[in-house]
């Protein structure tokens, strides 16, 4: 049987018959007929890994005093400025931090009871 003859046979099949044929082929040869899908028709590109992060204090939580202490330590602000920053959440604590520094700041603040976002 030639390719043309097979194609003519497939053209004459109903949707249900085609579905059964595809399942049988998948089982017989151990393959899948799923094709990769590109969203919006655009070529799929690998996303660049983010290298700079903004550390955002989302919420001070229940231990506001501990969070203020950590904010003072991280930013070098005075007590009044640090308290104002914590009271005004959400607010950005650090902009353009590398991944390691941002993760370290985030863990310090979370240990103090705050909610932190990295963007």
Domains, in order of start, for the chain: 1-38 (no CATH), 53-118 (3.30.1390.10)
User: pTM of the predicted model, to two decimals?
Assistant: 0.55
The one-character DSSP state at 37 is: -
d(CA 23, CA 25): 5
* Per-10-residue mean pLDDT, the chain, length 119: 86 84 84 62 61 86 87 88 86 85 88 86
The crossing angle, in degrees rounded to 10, of helices 64-75 and 99-111 is: 150
User: How many CB atoms sit inside 10 A of residue 111's CB?
Assistant: 12
Q: What is the largest CA-CA distance in the chain?
A: 85
């Amino acid at each position: 049987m030639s390719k043309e003859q097979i194609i003519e046979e497939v053209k004459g099949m109903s949707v249900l018959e085609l579905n059964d044929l595809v399942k049988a082929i998948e089982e017989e040869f151990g393959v899948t007929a799923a094709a990769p899908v590109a969203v919006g028709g655009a070529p799929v590109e690998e996303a660049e890994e983010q290298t700079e992060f903004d550390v955002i204090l989302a919420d001070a939580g229940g231990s506001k005093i501990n969070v203020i202490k950590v904010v003072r330590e991280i930013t070098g602000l005075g007590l009044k400025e640090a308290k104002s920053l914590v009271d005004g959440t959400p607010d950005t604590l650090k902009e353009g931090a590398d991944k390691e520094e941002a993760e370290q700041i985030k863990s310090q603040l979370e240990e103090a009871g705050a909610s932190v976002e990295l963007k």
